[in-house]
Amino acid sequence: KIFPPLSVVAARRVFAGEGRGTKQVPNGLFSVPVEHDREFHHQRCHYREFRFDLSRIPEGEAVTAAEFRIYKDFIRERFDNETFQISVYQVLQEHPGRDSDLFLLDSRTIWAAEEGWLVFDITATSNHWVVNPQHNLGLQLSVEGIDGQSINPKLAGLIGRQGPQNKQPFTVAFFKATEVHLRSIRSTGGKQRSQNRSKTPKNQEAFRVSNIAENSSSDQRQACKKHELYVSFRDLGWQDWIIAPEGYAAYYCEGECAFPLNSYMNATNHAIVQTLVHFINPETVPKPCCAPTQLNAISVLYFDDSSNVILKKYRNMVVRACGCH
């Protein structure tokens, strides 16, 4: 059985009021399944399109973060030891007989043999779709190999709407209750009356909603990840006793561990729970910290105290991956 990530399970339970106490939390999580899933094959291009009905998001809620989640099965044949570049786009406008206008939302590079849920940040478009549902033309997903050639998403192991129910793609929206009513006009009559009014309030409303989401989306852009760091032994004053190498790429970890924690943040279960507690009550505990989760060794050739030449492998010298702890 495929279980959803702990962050989603925990969030569902917290916001459903399970556990200790019945305190009403003005924040929530909303899961939206795929309603339409189409596959396209051109001579040199393969892609899939997904559409979601975001009108189900409760009225008066402003989306602070949104994710598109799709499951990737393990594949053996054809792509051994290769990587895929998976990109998710917002469909801006469709044109008969030619490609649609697209806006890149998120992309990931993964191993072909990787298996599990892939998470893509679609916060940038979610509030726009909630305020302007007529602009919701869905998402387009494409897969490319290391040579830049288009790959059929199905051959890459990506599961669509026709797959098992527990592996079907969906969107998760995280929101905070606000006084902004995103869809105050629902009936046909109300829509007709609104045409005679100034468009300024609607524009102000969209602007306010985008500001509400700004903090969360900026946290995602500055999320915990690995950064470049080259260490020069000469700069440290060690050139007299270290023969080789002259330096090495050490890397370092920095960034936010903000709610929601995406799968690529390599968060521990403790960090996920701590993030939820911080999200509900920031004064109680701080956010988790961004730190190395995997480290590699390097070999160093140096002179010891007796001027002997020594070759030694030093463990935990290079950051390989970062995560939230």
Q: What is the pLDDT of residue 88?
A: 92
> How many Cβ atoms from other residues are within 10 Å of residue 287's Cβ?
20
Give start-end residues of each CATH 2.60.310.10 domain in the chain: 1-221
Q: What tokens appear for 99 in the block?
A: 């490609």
Compute and round to an integer the Cα radius of gyration of the chain: 24
Q: What is the pLDDT of residue 45?
A: 61
The answer for 168, left when phi > 0, alpha when psi is -120 to 50, beta otherwise, is: beta
Q: What is the pLDDT of residue 32?
A: 53
CA 203 from chain centre, in angstroms, equals 28
Q: Is the pLDDT of residue 231 over 90?
A: yes
- Residue 250 vs residue 28, higher pLDDT: 250
Give start-end residues of each CATH 2.10.90.10 domain in the chain: 222-325
Q: How far apart are CA 168 and CA 70, in angstroms?
A: 7
For residue 260, cis peptide bond before it (omega within 30 degrees of 0): yes
Q: What is the pLDDT of residue 314?
A: 92
Q: Is the pLDDT of residue 160 over 80?
A: yes
Query: pLDDT tens digits, residue range 29-73?
Result: 555 555 555 554 454 567 688 887 777 666 656 677 788 888 998
Residue 168 binned pLDDT confidence (cut-offs 50, 70, 90): confident
Q: How far apart are CA 182 and CA 113, in angstroms?
A: 42
Q: What is the pLDDT of residue 176?
A: 62
Residue 207 binned pLDDT confidence (cut-offs 50, 70, 90): very low
Q: Are 128 and 135 in contact (CB under 8 A)?
A: yes
Most confident of 9-23, 109-123, 210-224, 242-256: 242-256
Asked whether the whole model's pTM tops 0.75, one would answer no
Query: pLDDT tens digits, residue range 82-127?
Result: 888 999 999 888 888 777 888 898 888 888 888 888 888 888 888 7
Q: Which residues pair with 292 in a beta bridge?
A: 322
CB within 8 Å of 308: residues ≥ 6 apart: none
**Record: fold of 1-221:** Hemocyanin; Chain: A, domain 2 (2.60.310)
Calculate mean pLDDT across residues 138-160: 88
Q: Write down the residue that tokens 């801006």 correspond to.
A: 92
Q: What is the pLDDT of residue 230?
A: 93
Q: Are 160 and 170 in contact (CB under 8 A)?
A: no
Q: What is the pLDDT of residue 83?
A: 86
Task: Give pairs for 212-215: CB < 8 Å, separation 24+.
Answer: 212/62, 212/64, 212/127, 212/176, 212/178, 212/180, 213/62, 213/63, 213/64, 213/65, 213/123, 213/126, 213/127, 215/64
Please name which of 88, 87, 77 lies closest in space to residue 157, comparing C-alpha atoms.
77
Q: Is the pLDDT of residue 317 over 90?
A: yes
**Record: fold of 222-325:** Cystine Knot Cytokines, subunit B (2.10.90)
Q: How far apart are CA 158 and CA 87, in angstroms?
A: 12
Calculate mean pLDDT across residues 144-172: 86
Query: pLDDT tens digits, residue range 263-295?
Result: 667 778 888 888 888 888 888 889 999 999 889
CB within 8 Å of 272: residues ≥ 6 apart: 6, 7, 10, 261
Q: What is the pLDDT of residue 145?
A: 87
For CA atoms 75, 80, 81, 85, give the dihedral sign.
Answer: negative
User: Across the chain, what does the average pLDDT equal?
Assistant: 73
Q: What is the pLDDT of residue 57?
A: 65
Q: What is the pLDDT of residue 34?
A: 52
Q: How far apart are CA 187 and CA 202, in angstroms?
A: 17
Q: How far apart are CA 66 and CA 174, in angstroms?
A: 6
Q: What is the pLDDT of residue 269?
A: 80
